[in-house]
Amino acid sequence: MGINHKLTSVLAVSALALTLMSCSEQKPSPDNAAAALAQGLAKADVSATAFTSGTPAQVNTELESLLAGMGTVRPAVTVAGIEEDSEDDDAATARLAYAWDVNMDSEPDWQYETTADLRRGEDDAWLVQWAPSVLFDSLADGDRLVRTTFRGMRADILDRNGDPLMSSRPVLRIGINKPGLLEDQQASAAAALAELVGLDPAAYTAQVAAAGPDAFVEAIVQRQDAEGPTTPEALAAIHGAVTFPDTRTLAPTRTFARALLGTVGEATAELIEESDGRLSPGDLTGLSGLQKQYEDQLQGTPGMTVTIEHPTDTTTPVLELRPKTDAVPLQTTLDPRLQTLAEDILEDEPSASAIVAIQPSTGDVLTVANGPGSEGQQTALLGQYPPGSTFKIATSLALLRQGVTPDSTVSCPAELTVDGRKFNNASSYPAAFVGDIALRDAFAQSCNTAFINTRDTVQQDALASAAADLGIGVSASMGVPAFFGSVPGEADGTAHAASLIGQGEVLVSPLALAVAAASVGKGERVTPLLVTPNTAAETGTESGSSSASASAAPTDASDAGSFTAAESASLRDMMRGVVTDGGAKMLLDVPGEPVLAKTGTAEFGSETPPRTHAWVVAVQGDLAVAVFVAEGELGSTSGGPLMKAFLDGAAGQP
């Protein structure tokens, strides 16, 4: 028994040893090697992969060359399957699935499979047999993949006659050309050029330092037909400073309707990130205004292709991701002569200011002018200010609807107290019109207390309704973001009293008051238009949205309102009286058809005396105009001369 027991034990141990030896001699599968290759190709770094010939570093260098034309775009790579050779245990083939997001919109748009041959090495580790075809079947030595975005000519922004307002114009690009400088010369050259052209020297020097060694770092773009901050002699004195002739999309002048039309320039990092691959560094794009809002229409859709570029300077098409679509011009209703006139008139106004002109018969916006004091802000369309006495046009309409006529008697005391708050007339108010006077005289002389005394006749909702019938607070799809005004539908006490004279919570933009004046001129509510519908592709943000109109409770422009021709006739009569007998006498000798007007002064701030906004609105024939000065005196003294200059100029007078 002892011998048999020992023999059984020996046999068992021997069997176990053979089993362990068999397990230890089992060779690894190619799965891990294929997975490592896929991960490395996705990162363009195959350092974790061994190859049958060449080192990982050498393959990485080749990969870098193969992918250089793809920018930052890299594929997602997965192992689709592995087939081991049934006749050769040391051979296998991996199928690799590629998914590229070529246009960088987060969705794969180019998918295919390739194969990679694997061989088992001497230590049983699997090695990849590298070839460019592992990346893409048609690639050979010396080839590279190239992603190309091609853009057509940018379309023009047109005026009301179809002539270009913004179009391609010759410019000079001025900057530092780094290849022409030694490294220790770059900082001094950049600082000198920045000083010359008015840039921050530290910021521009840092920009030059961060650019590549072969870069041209643009400082400014200067019109070829205009004087700039540089001269050829001054540039020649700065080593490395150069100029390149080019073209850029520009308006007639640097300031022409700039806040409205916007600018075109090199895409910012933020715009590139938001573009879903449409923009690349160096691309020109709309940066502001209509140029940015209607970018897709004005630039068209860039085409995008992937090609193989061969060392023989030939190419093979691989993928047309999207065809290029042509740009379409954008037509506006602007009148360039009147726009230039308005901007010239506002040139010396230090505070924010604006002139908006509308053609009542069509609603076409003819001018959107902002003065230099607006500092680039869109005061004309987006400003929100109390209208002061110009709002008495709406209050008068509400009174007419209550049976009051222009000749009805109203009470105009020197001062009036409502719920403890004292209201006064302007210090220049004529004493001859204190007491019981006709509504037309209260309107012409702008008696605040007379209109506040009607607070029991005109309720707040009726006031808001009258304003809406003139277009104030009525959103419209005019093609650009705009503030159309805001009139509270409910108010009582001092808030209601203030609303009657365009103070309190009543807010308008110069556009909104121009619309109201145009409505009086036409005899029905006018809907403003600035970008003509037949050229405004569905790429722009409409101005009728609640966010763009910014009104407390905007009325839809599709509701025509109830403003009548008879009401318009009464308001026109009263507005003519402002010119013949009231605060706008300076407009009496304007050539052409009779001028109708209303002046306004709106107090704001907490100072004593308070600061004031100055307003004037006018209608002459088929022209309605609103003039605004953010920090003026009276509407008649600050806004009146500007309005006269505009109407004289519009009539062709010097």
pLDDT at position 17 over 50: no
Share of the chain above pLDDT 70, in %: 92
pLDDT band at 433 (very low <50, low <70, confident <90, very high): very high
Evaluate whether residue 644 is within a structural domain. no
Please report, for the domain that includes residue 394, its CATH number. Answer: 3.40.710.10
pLDDT at position 573 over 90: yes
Q: CA Rg, the chain, in Å? A: 37
Max mean pLDDT among 227-231, 517-521, 539-543 falls in 517-521
> Do 445 and 513 belong together in one domain?
yes
> Do 411 and 460 belong together in one domain?
yes
> Do 137 and 189 belong together in one domain?
no
Q: What is the mean pLDDT of residues 505-515?
A: 98
Please report, for the domain that includes residue 218, its CATH number. Answer: 3.90.1310
Q: Which of 597, 621, 639 is the last residue of a domain?
A: 597
At residue 534, the pLDDT reads 60
Number of domains in the chain: 3
Cα–Cα distance for residue pair 449/535, rounded to 1 Å:
49
- In tens, the pLDDT along 22-36 reads 444 678 999 999 999
- In tens, the pLDDT along 130-165 reads 999 999 999 999 999 999 888 778 999 999 999 999
pLDDT band at 274 (very low <50, low <70, confident <90, very high): confident
At residue 537, the pLDDT reads 52
Evaluate whether residue 10 is within a structural domain. no
Evaluate whether residue 298 is within a structural domain. yes
pLDDT at position 544 over 50: no
pLDDT at position 395 over 90: yes
> Do 138 and 212 belong together in one domain?
no
- Residues in contact with 552: Cβ distance below 8 Å, sequence separation at least 6, in sequence order: 473, 486, 487, 488, 489
> Do 166 and 308 belong together in one domain?
yes
pLDDT at position 3 over 80: no
Q: Which of 99, 119, 142 is the last residue of a domain?
A: 142
Cα–Cα distance for residue pair 47/150, rounded to 1 Å:
35
Cα–Cα distance for residue pair 590/576, rounded to 1 Å:
13
pLDDT at position 421 over 50: yes
At residue 23, the pLDDT reads 46
Q: Are 204 and 178 in contact (CB under 8 A)?
A: no
pLDDT band at 635 (very low <50, low <70, confident <90, very high): low
> Do 135 and 166 belong together in one domain?
no
> Do 513 and 386 belong together in one domain?
yes
> Do 483 and 581 belong together in one domain?
yes
> Do 38 and 122 belong together in one domain?
yes
B/e letters for 357-389, b = 16+ CB within 10 Å, e = fewer, are bbbbebbbbbbbbbbbbbeeebbbbbbebbbbb
Q: Worst-scoring range by mean pLDDT, 120-124, 302-306, 522-526, 631-635?
A: 631-635
Q: Which of 269, 303, 331 is the last residue of a domain?
A: 331
Long-range contacts of 21-25 (CB under 8 A, 24+ apart): none
pLDDT at position 39 over 90: yes
Residue 285 lies in domain: 157-331
Other CB atoms within 10 Å distance of the CB of residue 214: 8
Evaluate whether residue 50 is within a structural domain. yes
Evaluate whether residue 652 is within a structural domain. no
Q: Which residue has the higher pLDDT, 278 or 343?
A: 343
At residue 180, the pLDDT reads 82
Please report, for the domain that includes residue 135, its CATH number. Answer: 3.10.450.50
Cis peptide before 609 (omega within 30 of 0): yes
Pairing of strands 623-632, 353-359: antiparallel
Q: What is the mean pLDDT of residues 645-653?
A: 92
Cα–Cα distance for residue pair 516/506, rounded to 1 Å:
14
pLDDT band at 560 (very low <50, low <70, confident <90, very high): low
At residue 207, the pLDDT reads 92
pLDDT at position 399 over 60: yes
Evaluate whether residue 70 is within a structural domain. yes
Nearest to 484 by CA among 514, 524, 503, 512: 512
pLDDT at position 91 over 80: yes
pLDDT band at 552 (very low <50, low <70, confident <90, very high): very low
- In tens, the pLDDT along 439-451 reads 999 999 999 999 9
pLDDT at position 477 over 50: yes
> Do 545 and 584 belong together in one domain?
yes
pLDDT at position 296 over 80: yes
Question: Over the chain, what is the mean pLDDT?
Answer: 90
> Do 123 and 173 belong together in one domain?
no
Evaluate whether residue 566 is within a structural domain. yes
- In tens, the pLDDT along 169-181 reads 999 999 999 998 9
Evaluate whether residue 602 is within a structural domain. no
Q: Worst-scoring range by mean pLDDT, 4-18, 92-106, 479-493?
A: 4-18
Q: Worst-scoring range by mean pLDDT, 302-306, 322-326, 579-583?
A: 322-326
Phi, psi of 519 (to 5 degrees): -65, -40
Q: Are 471 and 517 in contact (CB under 8 A)?
A: no
Q: Which residue has the higher pLDDT, 185 or 227?
A: 185
Share of the chain above pLDDT 90, in %: 73
Taking the mean position of all CA atoms in its chain, how far away is CA 375? 17
Q: What is the mean pLDDT of residues 252-272?
A: 91
> Do 436 and 485 belong together in one domain?
yes
Q: What is the mean pLDDT of residues 63-68?
A: 96
